[in-house]
A and B are shown apart, each in its own frame.
Chain A
Amino acid sequence: MKRGELLGSLEHIILLALVRLDDGAHGMIVRREIEERTGRNISIGAVYATLERLEAKGYVSSFTGEPTPQRGGRAKRLFRVQSAGKRALQISEQTIRSLTADLEGRWETI
């Protein structure tokens, strides 16, 4: 992750969901996890588009699962967070934490 470059909000949320789900989560599981935890009803297309972007950045890797009849014979694409992704998450968290530190008293005036 380049200095000063932060994760986008959806990238951040999806990476966190992947970390929570451990290894090998597919798009719909990620979408469901986000919906359950945040109430955001995002589209599956947005999840895959973000995962594709994260993969291009080297933050996640993916592999193909077995096709099943429940999926109309289509294979799953499973994603896992790479160490670069974990580092990017840490940097994002640190940045947000340092910017929000000592702001408690100001929330009422914002």
Chain B
Amino acid sequence: MKRYSLPAFACRLFESVLPGRYREAMLGDLIEEYTLRIESTSPLTASRWFWSQACRSVPSMVCSSMRSGNCFISMSVAMGVYILMATLKFAADLMISKLAGPETTHLALAPIVFLTTTAIGGCVAARIRRGATIFLALIVMITVVVLIDFKVCSIPVPWWYQFGFLTLGPLAVIITPALLGAYSDS
């Protein structure tokens, strides 16, 4: 039988993101089915099927974890890391405001600080507990929505600037631990 490489990044991503008791069994099933599909169809079709199945499984697994009460620790970890992230970002913003002068410089540096803190937060959360990253990403998303709604930024910014924060922040939380392989073994 010819051997094909598994969608390794997808496996790592869902391994760090998915909560729930049956995460390992589910990923095993996906890999087994992917191997069968790659033999009968094409690598592209099989990969598309794998990604579609894994992405569609996230909401069900999160809801199931919330319903069963297993998510309480993950949510607590996410909240703790979020406070740490907020403190880190506040300190960075304070430093920038002292060093850099005009507000336009702040606008240029803000995405870099934001993405760095969210990436660090994602790695810390995943390192403490798998499944906590999805809750951290949700908290980050809610925070950005609230900040946009309250029009915290005094300078008018284009829509894509805000949209960047809304999408890239949660993505940085989820993707960075998978890219760096920074998640707990348990």
Contact = CB atoms under 8 A, between A and B. Distances in A.
A77 B22 CA distance: 8
Contact of A48 (B25, B31, B35): B25
B60 interface: yes
A48 B64 contact: yes
A72 B61 contact: no
Contact of A45 (B31, B33, B56): B56
Interface in B1-55: 6, 11, 18, 20-22, 24-33, 35, 53-54
A85 interface: no
Interface of A: 26-28, 31-32, 43-46, 48-49, 51-53, 56, 64, 67-68, 70-72, 74-77
Instruction: Name the prevailing secondary structure of the B interface residues.
Output: helix
Given A27-B22, A77-B25, A44 B57 contact: yes
Contacts of A31: 29
Interface residues of B, number: 29
10 contacts: A27-B22, A32-B33, A43-B57, A43-B60, A44-B57, A48-B20, A48-B22, A48-B25, A75-B25, A75-B28
Contact of A52 (B6, B27, B33, B64): B64
A53 B67 CA distance: 9
B31 A70 contact: yes
B80 interface: no
A31 B26 CA distance: 11
A31 B60 CA distance: 14
Contact of A72 (B31, B60, B67, B68): B31
Contacts of B61: 45, 48-49
Contact of A76 (B18, B20, B28): B28
B28 A71 contact: yes
Given A48-B20, A48-B64, A77-B22, A72 B57 contact: no
Given A28-B32, A45-B58, A46-B57, A74 B64 contact: no
B134 to A, nearest CB: 12
Given A70-B31, A72-B31, A74-B24, 18 more contacts: A26-B25, A43-B53, A45-B54, A45-B56, A46-B56, A46-B57, A48-B20, A48-B22, A48-B61, A49-B63, A49-B64, A71-B32, A72-B27, A72-B28, A74-B27, A74-B31, A76-B29, A77-B25
